Amino acid sequence: MTHEQLLMLPPDTAGLEKAAAILSVGGLVSFPTETVYGLGADARNDVAVAKIYAAKGRPSFNPLIVHLADMASVANYCEINDTARQLAAAFWPGALTLVLPLKADAGVSKLVTAGLDTLAVRVPDHSVAHGVLSAFGGPIAAPSANPSGRISPTTAAHVAAGLAGRIDAVVDGGECHVGVESTIVSCVGAPVLLRAGGIPVEALEACLGQALVVGRDPDLPTAPGQLASHYAPRGKVRLNAPYAQEGEVLLGFGPVEADLNLSVAGDLAEAAARLFACLHELDAMGAERIAVSPIPNHGLGRAINDRLQRAAAPR
């Protein structure tokens, strides 16, 4: 099946084998994870990784996350310390990315790390992602499968709308159930939170028994998730709006009268899962001015507010 110029693969054995075959020859395949759809390439292949940057129109200084099947595979690429072991045991597979010292002989393309001596790694919690990883049998570098600066995709249709004609295939695994990207923690030295995401910071701190240092000033990005205008819908976004003003479309949270609602029940997990789909829908509606209800800033609310603040940032 094709969607415009994009091969849509079913998440069955034949589809997964086709995905692996494309990756093996240096192609780009998008696949679902529990957070968002990733745009995958063989992390050892410079040309393949370069194609990711080209397809996304991504500034080349932004390093990528490598997806692996399990902790044993991670240990082939990175030095594992106690903090990493503790977090991995508690949260992998899952929506947590760890930044770890890169092993010298790891064989990962320098385009993946942007020349850093650290590597961001994640073991996803999604059967289709694992199907692709096991059919391919190698490390898969995968940023979110959206054009740079645009809204992250949580369905295969979102991927097709953003990247058809620029990538080889997408494995259609339905909707991503977490809906915001992974939380990123650097475990090089004392643990540092680099990006709020699908695993709440409170859960990480409870696991480690210590507070996480929050990463650098967002205006000085170490992670491109930290670039100011990111995750942006086309319309102008106004946050913490109890109600819409004239000419605005309201993206609600909780029991408010809204054009679209992240979660009528006020459930943060539901809101996270629906966030990017709602932003895509606002684009599809042609919304030019978007008001967003206040979202509590705890648990997954922190990741949601982070993404919304970027969506509202001047561009």
Residues that bind ligand TXA (CB under 6 A): 33, 35-36, 38, 62-65, 97, 99, 113, 116, 118-120, 122, 142-144, 181-182, 184, 194-195, 222-225
Q: Which amino acid is at 25?
A: V
* Least CB distance to Mg ion at residue 152 (A): 5
Please, is 280 exposed, middle or buried when counting C-beta atoms within 10 Å of its C-beta (0-12, 13-18, 19+)? Answer: buried
* Least CB distance to ligand TXA at residue 90 (A): 17
182 binds, among ligand TXA, Mg ion, none (CB under 5 to 8 A by kind): ligand TXA
> Among residues 120 and 258, whose Cβ is nearest to ligand TXA?
120
Order of strands, sheet of 260-261, starting from the edge strand that comes earlier in the sequence: 236-238, 289-292, 249-252, 260-261
* Least CB distance to ligand TXA at residue 33 (A): 5
Q: Which amino acid is at 264?
A: V
Q: How far is CA 103 from the centre of its chain?
A: 24
The answer to whether 290 touches 249, Cβ cutoff 8 Å, is yes
* Least CB distance to ligand TXA at residue 99 (A): 4
154 binds, among Mg ion, ligand TXA, none (CB under 5 to 8 A by kind): none
Name the one range near Mg ion by CB under 5 A: 66-74, 144-152, 182-190, 209-217: 144-152
223 binds, among ligand TXA, Mg ion, none (CB under 5 to 8 A by kind): ligand TXA
170 binds, among Mg ion, ligand TXA, none (CB under 5 to 8 A by kind): none
Report if residue 305 touches Mg ion, rule: CB under 5 A.
no
DSSP 8-state class, residue 285: H
Rounded Cα gap, residues 263 and 91, in angstroms: 25
* Least CB distance to Mg ion at residue 275 (A): 13
153 binds, among Mg ion, ligand TXA, none (CB under 5 to 8 A by kind): none
- Within 10 angstroms of residue 208's Cβ, the number of other Cβ atoms is 16
* Least CB distance to Mg ion at residue 144 (A): 3
Query: Which of residues 30, 144, 182, 183 is near Mg ion by CB under 5 A?
Result: 144
Which residue's structure tokens are 């969607």?
Answer: 3
> Among residues 298 and 315, whose Cβ is nearest to Mg ion?
315
Name the one range near Mg ion by CB under 5 A: 95-103, 142-150, 254-262, 295-303: 142-150
Residue 72: how many CA atoms within 13 Å on its side-chain side? 0
Q: What is the 3-state secondary structure (H, E, C) of 2-63?
A: EECCEEEECCCHHHHHHHHHHHHCCCCEEEECCCCEEEEEECCCHHHHHHHHHHHCCCCCCC
* Least CB distance to ligand TXA at residue 43 (A): 11
Closest of 41, 30, 36 to residue 111, by C-alpha: 41
The two structure tokens encoding residue 244: 């819409």
> Among residues 69 and 119, whose Cβ is nearest to ligand TXA?
119
Closest residue by beta carbon to ligand TXA: 143
> Among residues 222 and 263, whose Cβ is nearest to ligand TXA?
222
Order of strands, sheet of 96-101, starting from the edge strand that comes earlier in the sequence: 2-3, 6-9, 169-171, 29-32, 37-42, 140-141, 65-67, 118-122, 96-101, 183-186, 192-195, 213-214
